[in-house]
Amino acid sequence: MKHVKELSKQDVSAGFSCKHVLSQVEKAVNKKKALKDEKEKVLSMNDDKSKQRTLWILKIMKLFYFTLTSLDFTKEDTYLYFVLSPIFKNLLCNDPRTCLLFGKTNLKVKAIEVNRYLGDEERRFAGPKIDIVVKDENYNMEIMVVEVSGPPNKVNQTHYLEDRNKICKNLKAMFKQIVSKMEVPSVTHIRKLKLYGLQFYNNEAFNAQANL
């Protein structure tokens, strides 16, 4: 298995239509009216996939411009719950098999890996605390982790590096656990398996990947 590697920052825009909406609303003086006008245009689109993605972008922009306050960006916990939580819920919870666990959740797969080597008299490891864990409900498996390395405007290189290493180690444990559960683990299937971790630090998002 290749070492879990950190990838370069990704372009997270959801296609040309979303880029257009972002630029139109961002430069508008009356952003509330601009959002309403763009929503009417989007609802008339024929491409359902682009329509849903763009409506999601509009929903997040409405949250950003009219619901959030500067206080929501000053602490890690408030940034996680009031900024990132609504975004991830809108992005991932449309799929009934996806479960989101927020707020320093123990990663069970890492606990299983560590406890395997502990003696009967040794205290069990509960698993590392993760800011957001994404689970596949069908298979009851953890498939993605998200770490918030402090509030968005605070620079702390040590915190960033510690969280980056934690993401890499946990992705590796998740990858090994999923492979061990395959009925017929073939190289072809394993090569198709990719797990991702997200890290938010200093107003930027970083993506890490685990694969064969």
DSSP H or E run through 131: strand 129-136
**Between residues 108 and 76, which one has the greater pLDDT?**
76
Single out the residue of 112, 137, 134 nearest to residue 125, CA to CA. Answer: 112
Contacts of 49 (CB under 8 A, 6+ apart): none
Give the pTM: 0.70
Whole-number percent of the chain with pLDDT over 70: 81
Residue 204 has pLDDT above 90, yes or no: no
The predicted pLDDT at position 200 comes to 92
Q: Is the pLDDT of residue 3 over 60?
A: no
Instruction: Give me the pLDDT at residue 120, please.
Output: 59
Mean pLDDT of 27-44: 86
Residues 176 and 178: their CA atoms lie apart, in Å, by: 6
Dump pLDDT digits (tens) for 14-26.
Answer: 456 667 777 887 7
Rounded to an integer, what distance in angstroms lies between the CA atom of residue 19 and that of residue 38?
12
pLDDT of residue 59: 80
| Tally of CA atoms within 13 A in the half-sphere of 156 that contains its CB | 16
Per the prediction, the chain carries an average pLDDT of 77
Report, as an integer, the average pLDDT of 148-157: 88
Handedness of CA 61, 66, 71, 75 (dihedral sign): negative
pLDDT tops 90 at residue 158? yes
- Placement of tokens 């398996």 in the chain: 193
Does the pLDDT at position 108 exceed 80? no
| pLDDT (0 to 100) of residue 11 | 38
**Coil/strand/helix, residue 120:** coil
Weakest mean pLDDT among 46-50, 143-147, 172-176: 46-50
Q: Amino acid letter at 7?
A: L
Radius of gyration in angstroms for the set of CA atoms belonging to the chain, rounded to a whole number: 20
Looking at residue 153, its pLDDT comes to: 81
Task: Measure the CA–CA gap between 5 and 165, rounded to whole angstroms.
Answer: 10
pLDDT value of residue 107: 75
The H-assigned helical ranges of the chain are: 16-27, 31-43, 48-66, 76-79, 85-92, 108-115, 157-180, 187-192
Measured distance between the N- and C-terminal CA atoms of the chain, rounded to whole angstroms: 5
Domain boundaries, the chain: 12-67, 73-212
- Section 158-171 average pLDDT: 90
Please name every residue paired with 60 in a beta bridge, in sequence order, or none if there are none: none
Euclidean distance between CA atoms 123 and 33, whole angstroms: 59
Q: Confirm if 147 and 200 have CB atoms less than 8 A apart.
A: yes
